[in-house]
C-alpha cells in the first residue's frame, strides 16, 4: 500500500535563490529548496547537476554567492555561531578522513561536539545519545574496534551514527547508501523514514537511485545543469518526459500496483536480449 503524503511540517531549513560558484564560475543558478519537519526531501539528478553542492551550501560548507539560507523565523544561517548552527543542522558528507587508532565509540562521540564546552565540559545527554546512535545504525557490536580496520560499508554506518549522535532537527545526507550492501541500503533508508515519521526530523538526502528516492521521499527535487527543474511528490517529478530529457536516456516509469510507488527503469540498447 502506498505511503500517504506527509502533511507539510514546519519549515526547518530553506535555501532561497541560491547561486553557488566554484572559482567564480556559477555551477548552481537560482535554486530554492525547503526542508520541513517530518518530511524527507530527495535531491536527484545526473552527475554534475549540483545536488551535493546545494546540500553543502545548506550545511554552510559551501559559500553562497547570492541568495540565502534561512532557519525557522527567517533566522539567517550565516549569522549563527558555528556551535549553535551545529545544534540545528548536521551533514553526512560523501567522504571523510578516517582517523587512525580511534575506536568506533569515540568517533560516534565526535557528534556531541556542539554540546561540549571548550574543555570537554560535561554533556549529560551524551552517553545516551551515542549509545542510541550506535544501536540504530547497527554498529554497537563494533564499538571498541578501531575505525581504520572497518570495511567501507561499516565505516559509512559509523559516520551516520556520528551524525545521529549530534541530535539535530535537520539531517543532510549526501549519498548515504554508497558502499552499503542491499541489506544496509534498505535499513538506512528505513532509518531515514523513521527519523522523519517518529522523530519529526527534516531530512534532505542526495540519491542517485531514483527508485530509492521514490520509495523514501515525500518530496523530490530534480536538478539539471545547476538548476531546479521540478519539485513535488515522486509521482509529480519522476515522469518519463522529465527523466528522459534530464538524463539523456529513455527512462520508463510505472507505478507498482501493490505499493503505489513510482518505479523507474532506464532503457539500454540490449533491453530485448533474451534471458538464457
Confidence of residue 133 (pLDDT cuts 50, 70, 90): very high
Q: Is residue 162 part of a domain?
A: yes
- 14 is a domain residue: yes
Is 7 buried (19+), middle (13-18) or exposed (0-12) by CB count in 10 A?
Answer: exposed
Do residues 16 and 129 share a domain? no
Q: Predicted confidence band at 106 (pLDDT cuts at 50, 70, 90)?
A: very high
On whether the CB atoms of residues 102 and 146 are closer than 8 A, the answer is yes
118 pLDDT higher than 90: no
Residue 261 lies in a domain: no
> Is the same domain home to 177 and 69?
yes
Residue 7's pLDDT band (boundaries 50, 70, 90)?
A: very low
Task: Pick the more confident residue, 117 or 35.
Answer: 35
Query: Are both 23 and 155 inside the same structural domain?
Result: no
Question: Is residue 133 domain-shared with residue 17, that is, in the same domain?
Answer: no
Is residue 203 one of the residues assigned to a domain? yes
Tally the domains of the chain: 2
184 and 145 in a single domain? The answer is no
Instruction: Please state, as a whole number, how many other Cβ atoms lie within 10 Å of the Cβ of residue 84.
Output: 12
Which cell is 254 given? 510505472
For residue 229, tell me if it sits in a domain. yes
Write out pLDDT tens, residues 42-55: 999 999 999 999 99
Contacts 24+ apart (CB under 8 A), 25-30: 26/65, 26/226, 27/53, 27/226, 28/53, 28/54, 28/57, 28/226, 28/227, 29/226, 29/227, 30/67, 30/227, 30/228
Q: Do residues 111 and 147 share a domain?
A: yes
- Is the residue at 249 inside a domain? no
Residues 6+ apart with CB under 8 A from 264: 210, 211, 214, 238, 243, 251, 252, 253
Q: What is the pLDDT of residue 273?
A: 59
Both 181 and 81 in a single domain? yes
CATH number at residue 82: 3.40.50.300
pLDDT of 216 reads 96
The whole-number pLDDT of residue 202 equals: 97
Answer yes or no: is pLDDT of 70 > 80.
yes
Query: Is residue 252 assigned to a domain?
Result: no
Residues near 127 by beta carbon (within 8 Å), at least 6 away in sequence: none
* Chain segment 140-165, per-residue pLDDT in tens: 999 999 999 998 888 888 999 999 99
> In which domain, by residue range, is 37 found?
7-88+172-239
Amino acid at each position: 500500500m502506498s505511503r500517504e503524503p506527509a502533511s507539510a511540517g514546519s519549515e526547518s531549513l530553506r535555501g532561497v535563490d541560491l547561486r553557488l560558484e566554484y572559482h567564480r564560475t556559477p555551477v548552481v543558478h537560482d535554486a530554492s529548496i525547503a526542508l520541513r519537519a517530518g518530511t524527507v526531501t530527495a535531491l536527484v539528478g545526473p552527475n554534475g547537476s549540483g545536488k551535493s553542492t546545494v546540500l553543502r551550501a545548506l550545511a554552510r560548507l559551501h559559500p553562497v554567492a547570492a541568495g540565502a539560507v534561512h532557519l525557522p523565523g527567517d533566522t539567517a544561517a550565516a549569522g549563527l555561531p558555528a556551535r549553535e548552527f551545529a545544534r540545528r543542522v548536521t551533514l553526512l558528507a560523501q567522504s571523510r578522513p578516517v582517523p587512525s587508532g580511534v575506536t568506533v565509540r569515540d568517533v560516534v562521540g565526535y557528534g556531541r561536539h556542539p554540546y561540549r564546552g571548550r574543555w570537554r565540559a560535561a554533556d549529560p545527554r551524551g552517553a545516551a545519545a551515542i549509545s542510541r546512535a550506535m544501536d540504530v545504525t547497527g554498529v554497537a557490536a563494533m564499538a571498541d574496534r578501531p575505525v581504520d580496520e572497518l570495511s567501507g560499508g561499516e565505516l559509512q554506518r559509523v559516520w551516520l551514527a556520528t551524525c545521529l549522535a549530534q541530535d539535530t532537527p535537520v539531517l543532510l545526507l549526501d549519498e548515504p547508501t554508497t558502499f552499503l550492501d542491499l541489506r544496509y541500503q534498505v535499513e538506512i533508508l528505513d532509518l531515514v523514514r523513521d527519523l522523519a515519521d517518529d522523530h519529526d526530523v527534516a531530512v534532505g538526502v542526495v540519491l542517485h537511485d531514483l527508485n530509492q528516492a521514490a520509495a523514501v521521499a515525500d518530496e523530490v527535487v530534480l536538478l539539471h545543469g545547476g538548476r531546479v527543474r521540478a519539485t513535488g511528490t515522486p509521482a509529480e517529478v519522476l515522469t518519463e518526459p522529465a527523466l528522459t530529457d534530464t538524463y539523456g536516456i529513455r527512462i520508463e516509469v510505472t507505478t507498482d500496483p501493490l505499493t503505489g510507488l513510482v518505479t523507474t527503469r532506464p532503457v539500454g540498447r540490449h533491453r530485448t536480449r533474451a534471458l538464457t
